[in-house]
Amino acid sequence: MPAKTIARLSSSLLTLVVLCFLLGAGIAKAEFHCVEPTPVENVGKTGCVSFSQRNEEVETQEHQSVEASQDATRTREWEAHEHEEAEVNAKAEAREKAELAALKCRPSEKPVMSSHGAACETAQAAFFECEQREQPKCSSVGELEAQNIAAYRQAHPVSITSLHVVSVPRPGHTTISPGYTNLRITTNPLAYITITFKAAGQTIPQLYDWGELATGTIKFVGWSCNQPNTTYHYTVEAVGDTGNPMSVHGSFKGVSRQWCAATKRREQAERDQRLRHRHQEERHETEEQDRAIQRFESNCRAEGGTPVTILTSNGSEPGCRGPEGGLLRVPG
């Protein structure tokens, strides 16, 4: 190889070594610059991020991670508490419902929970409690009972399963009140009862809310001596909230013609006897008054006076005038 060529190669290698040295120094200088704090506005220009900024970012990420973990823990604890509280409330509610369901109250009473457990509250007690709280408006006892019965019917719909009717005569003692007939009815409590009476070409329907008792009595005043020997026909129908209604038909006789005639004779004889007794008493009173006047006049003459009649505000009264005028006091 010629010497000139060798010299050229040596010069090129030297130049290359120098360039590499300078380039390495520049890179070291650049790395040293990136180590220094870099303003945020220069980060995008230099492409460098300092170690302190990286540490801050790491610390921020770690802090955010800790907060997120704590939030998740609190959320799980709150959800567990809510679930536990819901279970406790559900158990308490189920227990209260079971106690109320097992409680046997009258239809007019309201099942309630108190500090002592399930109890039956009467409409009267609820009314008094409302008044004691001085509420602006309290429902009456009758309204509260109707509300309780309506709630009971809704929870326990009435179905008619039986209906029995017995007529029971109740004779009277006078032609004005000769007697009546009771209908003894037994059916399901809280049934709706319709009784239809038929007599002398008339039909008389009557409606009844049967109430809480199974057996009750209906009084029908239908006997009359103006229409003796009358046969009364009746139909009793019981209707519930569900199911089919039931009905019973029957009849009974009123007062007889013979009884009315005999009672009229007895009543006339009693009136005649009372009239004779009153006349006798009036006669005795008149005779006693006459004897009293005769005694007074006799005593007046014995004292030397003259019997006279004196007019007063109360009417006429006997008096005794003395010989020299004036009135004498004489025994009666």
pLDDT for the residue 29: 43
Give the CATH number of domain 163-255: 2.60.40.10
What pLDDT is stored for residue 277 in this prediction? Answer: 93
Q: Distance between CA 304 and CA 324 in Å, rounded?
A: 10
Q: pLDDT tens-digit profile of 134-169?
A: 778 888 998 999 899 888 888 889 999 999 999 999
Does position 39 have pLDDT exceeding 60, yes or no?
no
pTM: 0.54
Residue 101 has pLDDT above 70, yes or no: no
* 285 pLDDT higher than 90: yes
Show the 3-state SS of 173-191: CCCCCCEEEEEEEEECCCC
Enumerate the domain spans of the chain: 110-155, 163-255, 261-321
User: How would residue 13 be classed by pLDDT, with cut points 50, 70 and 90?
Assistant: low
**What separation in angstroms does the CA of 250 have from each of 18, 59, 194?**
138, 100, 14
What's residue 209's pLDDT? 84
Q: Which of 260, 199, 195 is nearest to 231 (CA)?
A: 199
Residue 27 three-state SS: helix
User: Which pLDDT score is estimated for 35?
Assistant: 47
Residue 116 has pLDDT above 80, yes or no: no
Position with higher pLDDT, 75 vs 114: 75
Q: For position 331, what pLDDT does the model report?
A: 73
pLDDT of residue 178: 93
